[in-house]
């Protein structure tokens, strides 16, 4: 029988011991505990259920305290500030946790159907058209190098804010006149082009050969309202022009109440849609100051209630959202906000703003029967999990209307100019 050398035997024993320690339950718990934790005042975070792992607060701000019940340890956030907690096993420090406690923060969830009216910054070019001239079919705008998606800001030094501002320059043009000097905003850059209007031989008038627009309208869903600042967020995604497919650069805008009249049910390869109309009185209930990848934002001028939850709810940071059951608030008929069951299939604890933080699946049989899942116009519907606002519905999967994406509420609040970290509470 071949003998194993003593040194090799000792090495094997050491390796087995290390593996036993590595896979031991307390050490696995150690690796599972994050180094940096953010909590809101009054919130608790469970740490472990081991008798071996102990914890103590080592800093002096008294922002947190350690609670122990039976063999369970948890951190209680008492007041805003910073603290450090040291975890130890058998009296030996093994990990330090940095804990930031934020001031208590709550928002009122939305779910209401809203009408959206946007006014563009300047006049948006949405297409070219040919003019019948003595020299054939031509488009002066295309010849001048003006592109679809360009925003006309000024002509001959005069500011352009609406379509009617363009007409006097074209109507007053004569063939022998100097070209019109057009200031354009394109891809965040200001450029200048010269354009010579051409006479339509059939109508005897000069034209630019451009299709232009100065406003857009649509519907969506309110996500949240912050009662202290009156700031709101809705839609959860950017509004793009239907012709250019580019985000609309907003000068200003308004939101009004809207009523859902019918639903075009979604199916594989064909996303459905909420059909809605603006309220008859078209009363403005808020302004629009921002159109961003995370939705539209502004301030409410009128109080809005959803009939389900009109008192503030706490929010969940992106790292707190869990896979599992949740619900959304939305309207599928008339003005009535209802809640429907969904499943959060996956969630990403993001450190930086991103538009796709969650994958959702509609599980509510009544909603599936009514809409087929997520439909256009449902964007912005708030997502509630365990009594907290965690985000908003943003997009539907074209090939599976029962599923789609959601955005974390943390990033929508940031876009609204609401700083939950209290570094600049006057933002926006």
Q: Write out the catalytic residue numbers.
A: 237, 364, 379
CB atoms < 10 A from the CB of 72, how many? 13
If you ran DSSP here, which 8-state letter would residue 378 be given? -
Q: Which helix (H) or strand (E) holds 74?
A: strand 72-77
DSSP state of 164: G
3-state secondary structure of 218: strand
Pairing type for strands 72-77 and 189-195 reads: unpaired
CB of 406 within 8 A of CB of 412? no
Cα separation, 113 vs 115, whole angstroms = 7
Type and span of the H or E element at 252: strand 250-264
CA atoms of 417 and 1, how far apart (whole Å): 77
Q: What are phi and psi of 25, to 5 degrees?
A: -60, -45
Rounded CA-CA distance 82/97 in Å is 11
User: What are the distances in angstroms from CA 165 to CA 122, 148, 170, 200, 423?
Assistant: 10, 19, 10, 21, 42
């Amino acid at each position: 029988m071949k003998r194993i050398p003593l040194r090799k035997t000792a090495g094997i024993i050491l390796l087995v011991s290390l593996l036993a320690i590595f896979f031991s339950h307390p050490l696995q718990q150690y690796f599972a505990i994050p180094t940096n934790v953010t909590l809101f005042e009054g919130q608790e975070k469970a740490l472990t259920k081991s008798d071996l792992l102990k914890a103590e607060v080592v800093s002096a701000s008294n922002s947190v305290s350690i609670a122990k019940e039976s063999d369970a340890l948890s951190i209680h956030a008492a007041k805003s500030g910073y603290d450090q907690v040291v975890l130890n096993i058998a009296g030996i420090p093994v990990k330090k946790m940095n804990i930031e406690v934020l001031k208590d923060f709550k928002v009122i969830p939305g779910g209401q159907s809203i009408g959206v009216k946007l006014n563009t910054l300047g006049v948006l070019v949405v297409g070219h058209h040919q003019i019948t001239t003595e020299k054939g079919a031509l488009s002066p705008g295309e010849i001048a190098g003006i592109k679809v998606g360009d925003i006309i800001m000024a002509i001959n030094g005069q500011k352009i804010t609406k379509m009617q501002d363009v007409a006097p320059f074209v109507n007053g043009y004569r063939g022998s006149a100097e070209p019109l000097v057009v200031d354009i905003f394109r891809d965040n850059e200001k450029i200048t082009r010269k354009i010579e209007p051409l006479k339509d031989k059939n109508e005897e008038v000069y034209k630019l050969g451009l299709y232009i627009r100065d406003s857009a309208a649509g519907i969506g869903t309110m996500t949240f309202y912050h009662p202290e600042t009156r700031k709101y967020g809705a839609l959860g995604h950017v509004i793009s022009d239907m012709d250019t497919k580019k985000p609309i650069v907003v000068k200003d805008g308004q939101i009004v109440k809207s009523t859902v009249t019918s639903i075009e049910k979604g199916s594989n390869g064909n996303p459905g849609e909420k059909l809605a109309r603006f309220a008859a009185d078209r009363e403005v209930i808020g302004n629009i100051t921002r159109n961003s990848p995370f939705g539209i934002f502004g301030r409410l001028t009128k109080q809005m209630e959803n009939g389900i939850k009109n008192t503030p709810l706490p929010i969940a940071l992106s790292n707190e959202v869990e896979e599992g059951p949740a619900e959304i608030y939305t309207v599928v008929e008339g003005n009535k906000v209802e809640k429907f069951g969904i499943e959060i299939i996956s969630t990403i604890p993001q450190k930086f703003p991103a538009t796709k933080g969650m994958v959702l699946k509609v599980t509510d049989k009544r909603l599936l029967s009514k809409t087929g899942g997520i439909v256009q116009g449902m964007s912005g519907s708030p997502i509630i999990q365990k009594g907290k606002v965690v985000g908003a519905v943003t997009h539907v999967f074209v090939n599976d209307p029962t599923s789609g994406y959601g955005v974390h509420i943390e990033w929508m609040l940031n876009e609204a100019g609401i700083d939950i970290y209290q570094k600049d509470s006057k933002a926006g």
